Structure 1
Amino acid sequence: MPSSTSSTSSSPLPISTSPELVLDFWFGDGLKLGWPSQDMGKRWFNGGPELDEEIRQTFGKLVEQALAGGLAGWEAQPLSRLALVILLDQFPRHIFRGKGQAFAGDEQAQRLVSDALAEGIDEALPWIGRVFLYMPLTHAENLALQEEGVRRFSALLAAVPEAHRASAQGSLDFAVKHRDIVARYGRFPHRNTALGRTSSALEFEFLKIGPRFGQ
């Protein structure tokens, strides 16, 4: 996909911007249903430049605010914390696709998730909400967090209703793939160029055939 620009939209967001708007945009009715339709899944992972631009125009300023630590109040409740995690973990990957800023919110998101898990907040979320709460663990260049992500997705697979089992298995497979890369390389080689890192010979070989996860 074409790389997105590194600047966010200058159009102001409505004053009513709230966690609910983030969740409604990202999940549609998926939180109410427990798991969204396949069309929503395709939109998340194959939305392309159109989705990137929509997120930039609609939520760019809010993402900037989240990255600056200006939405700490959203940490108070399970659903608003989930919305903040999405702002920090998912939306920068769309707004800044292919650039180092795509990962600017990762550490904040991982802290929020670790705190949420320690408090059992994930248990208050619908199934698909848990998937995106756990997602920052799969983005961590930290093997301990990666292993925690695999554990959480394994537990999710064991707990979901049969109707959601195939989707939960896909989420677990995704987590294992990420964990295995970090276990082998200590980081994600596909981020090296964007982050100004030098790739090793082994990483160059991986980059010829390995996944880039949209970046």
Structure 2
Amino acid sequence: MRPDSGTPAPWQPLLHWWFGEGGTASQIAAQRNHLWFGYRQAQDAEARERFGGLAAQALQGGLDDWAQTPDGWLALLILLDQLPRMIHRGKPEAFAGDAAAQALLDRGLAHGLAGALAPIRQVFCYLVLEHAEDLDRQERGVVAFAALADLHHDEERAIFDDFLAFARKHRDVVARFGRFPHRNEILGRLSTDEEKDFLRRPGSRF
């Protein structure tokens, strides 16, 4: 879908909610970090009320035409990867869009869509890799976040170094266990004794 000139794209309300009014990467992160990575019941409710219908459409393939533009592709990734984790927090459905997000990411990267986005927006492309219970994808995510960090040699570098550090932590967990142990209870998977010991440690749950 390529909106006519002057007509707001259907994905703009979501991107505005997710990224705010703009600014530098560090400013955007400071404004939106609580939304991106913090649990607040009101935020989950807002995600459900405002974008739950779109997330369901995305999962059913009804918004695939959004992927014709970089912004639409990014919004679709957010609907498949980020929003279900808020809308269905603590339920198996939280991960229902992951496979579709991985496939969509691969198609978009093959067409160079990520390069048309600002680095802070690219973060939410590569988080799709960071969410994968697959070591090859985790390694790709680390490489992608390292490349984003290397684009910055000023005060903006710190925020991308933080994203890289978390990518490495996710990679290390999947390298060790082949999966994310904190998902086991939600998905009805049995945890090994080693995973149970790991989950008792601070910082083991993402």
TM-score, length-scaled by structure 1: 0.87
Which residue is equivalent to 1:100? 92
1:127 and 1:160 in contact (8 A); partners too: no
Check the 8 A contact 2:130/2:170 in 1, yes or no.
yes
Q: 1:137 aligns with which of 107, 129, 150?
A: 129
Aligned pairs (5 A) from 1:58-73: 58-73=50-65
- Give deviations 1:119-142, integer Å, cap 9, x for gaps: 221110011111011111000001
1:5 corresponding residue in structure 2: none
Deviation track 1:93-137 (CA, whole Å, cap 9, x = no partner) reads 001111111111111111111222222211100111110111110
Comparing 144-153 with 62-71, which one deviates more in the overlay? 62-71
CA distance in 2, matches of 1:84, 1:95: 15
CA distance in 1, matches of 2:47, 2:9: 13
Gaps of 5+ in 1: 1-15
Corresponding residue for 2:183? Answer: 191
Alignment-mate amino acid for residue 128 of structure 2: P
Q: Is there any run of 5+ residues in structure 2 with no aligned partner, and where? A: 1-7
Which amino acid letter does the alignment assign opposite residue 142 of structure 1?
D
1:1-215 mapped onto 2 (5 Å cutoff): 18-30=10-22, 33-35=24-26, 36-160=28-152, 162-209=154-201, 210-213=203-206
- Structure-2 separation of matches of 1:95 and 1:135: 18
Task: List structure 1 runs of 4+ shifted beyond 6 angstroms.
Answer: none
Q: Secondary structure, in 3 states, of the residue corresponding to 1:97?
A: coil
Partners of 2:60 and 2:66 lie apart in 1 by: 13
Distance 2:39 2:181 in 1: 23
Equivalenced residue count is 197
Q: Distance in 1 between matches of 2:148 and 2:176?
A: 25
| Aligned amino acid, residue 212 of structure 1 | R
Shift of 1:37: 4.5
Q: Which structure has the higher relative contact order (CA within 8 Å, separation 6+)?
A: 1
RMSD: 1.6
Contact kept in structure 2, 1:138 and 1:145, CA below 8 Å: yes
